Chains A and B, each alone.
Chain A
Amino acid sequence: MQGKCGLFFTSYAQEREFFQSGFQKSCLAIFMLVLLILPTMVNTYYVTIVNTVLISVMAAASLNLLTGFCGQISLGHAAFMGVGAYSTANALIWGIPFLPAVLFGGLCSAVIGMFFGIPSLRLKGIYLAISTMAAQLILSYVFLHWDGATGGSSGILLRPPQIFGYVFDSHEKRYYLFLGMTVLVLLTISNLVRSRFGRAFVAIRDFHLSAEIAGVNLFKFKLYAFGVSSFLAGIAGAMLVHRTMKVSMDNFGIDMSIAYLAMIIVGGLGSVLGSIMGGIFMSLLPVVLGIVAASLSGVFSGIESQIAAVKEGVFGLVIILFLIFEPEGLVHRWRLIKAYWKLYPFAH
Chain B
Amino acid sequence: MEQYLQLIINGLVVGSIYSLVALGFVIIYKATKVVNFAQGELVMVGAYICFALTVQFQLPFLAAFLITLFFSIILGLCIERLALRPLIGEEGISVIMVTIALSSVLKSLVQLIWGHDLQVYPQMLPTEPIWIAGLPVAPVYIAALILSGLLFAVFTLFFKYSRVGIAMRATAYDQQAAQSMGISVKNIFAMSWCIACVVSSIGGLILGNINGIDPHLGHLGLAVFPAVILGGLDSLAGAALGGLLIGIIENVCDGAAMQLFDIGGFKEVAAFVVLVIILMVKPYGLFGTEEIERV
Residues of A within 8 A of B (CB): 67, 73, 118-119, 121-127, 129-131, 133-135, 137-138, 141, 144-145, 208, 218, 254, 258, 261-262, 265, 269, 306, 308-320, 323-324, 327
Are A313 and B225 within 8 A (Cβ)?
no
Interface SS of B by simple majority = helix
Given A254-B222, A269-B93, 19 other A-B residues pairs in contact with their CB atoms under 8 A? A122-B279, A123-B295, A124-B295, A126-B233, A127-B279, A127-B283, A130-B279, A134-B273, A135-B276, A141-B268, A261-B93, A306-B112, A312-B111, A313-B107, A313-B109, A315-B104, A316-B102, A318-B101, A320-B83
Taking CB atoms, residues of chain A closer than 8 Å to B222 are 133, 137, 254
Nearest 4 CB-CB pairs, A to B? A313-B108, A316-B104, A319-B101, A309-B111
Whether A323 and B87, one on each chain, are in contact in the complex, defined by CB atoms closer than 8 angstroms, is yes
Cα distance, A237 to B86, chains bound together (Å): 35
* Contact, CB under 8 Å: B225 / A134: yes
Given A126-B35, A316-B103, A316-B105, A73:B276 Cβ within 8 A: no
The contact of A131 among B101, B111, B112, B279, by CB within 8 Å, is: B279
Taking A121-B295, A265-B97 as contacts, is the C-beta distance between A306 and B276 under 8 angstroms?
Answer: no
Cα distance, A73 to B92, chains bound together (Å): 9
Q: Is B264 in the interface zone, CB < 8 Å from A?
A: yes
Does the CB pair B93–A73 fall under 8 Å? yes
**Which chain A residues lie closer than 8 Å to B108 at the CB level?**
309-314, 316
Give every chain A residue within 8 A of B265 (Cβ-Cβ).
141, 144-145
> Are the C-beta atoms of B100 and A319 separated by less than 8 Å?
yes
A residues less than 8 Å from B14 (CB atoms): none
Query: Complex: how many Å from CA A131 to CA B265?
Result: 21
- Let me know if B276 and A320 touch, CB within 8 A: no
**Residues 108 to 125 of chain B near chain A (Cβ within 8 Å):** 108-109, 111-112
Contact at B96–A218, with CB atoms within 8 Å?
Answer: no
Chain B residues near A137 (CB, 8 Å)? 222, 268-269, 272
Known contacts A125-B92, A133-B222; A319/B97 CB under 8 A: yes
Cα A312 to Cα B229 with chains together (Å): 28
In the complex, chain B residues 248-281 whose Cβ is within 8 Å of any chain A Cβ? 263-265, 268-269, 272-273, 275-276, 279-280
Give how many B residues have a beta carbon under 8 Å from the other chain's beta carbons: 40
Chain B residue nearest to A257 (CB atoms) is B100
Nearest Cβ on chain A to B27's Cβ, whole angstroms? 16
A314 to B108, CA, bound (A): 9
Q: CA separation between A312 and B216, bound complex, in Å?
A: 14
Q: Report the minimum CB–CB distance from B69 to chain A (whole Å).
A: 25
Is the Cβ of B87 less than 8 Å from the Cβ of A324? yes
Contacts of B103 in A (CB 8 A): 316
- Assembly CA distance A254 to B222 (angstroms): 11
> Is the CB–CB distance between A130 and B229 below 8 Å?
yes
Residue contact A126 to B96, C-beta cutoff 8 Å: yes
State which of A122, A145, A316 has its C-beta within 8 Å of the C-beta of B263.
Answer: A145
Q: Is the CB of A312 within 8 A of B107?
A: yes
Residue pair B96, A129 in contact (C-beta under 8 Å): yes
| Whole-angstrom distance between the Cβ of B260 and the nearest chain A Cβ | 15
B53 at the interface (CB under 8 A from A): no
- Is residue B98 contacting chain A, with contact meaning CB distance below 8 A? yes
Chain A residue, CB-CB nearest to B229: A130
Q: Of B92, B98, B264, which contacts A319 at CB under 8 A?
A: B98
List chain B residues, Cβ under 8 A from A119: 276, 279-280, 283
| B90 in contact (CB, < 8 A) | yes
With a 10 A CB-CB cut-off, give which of A123, A127, A314, A318 has the most chain B CB atoms: A127
Q: Do the beta carbons of A138 and B112 come within 8 Å of each other?
A: no
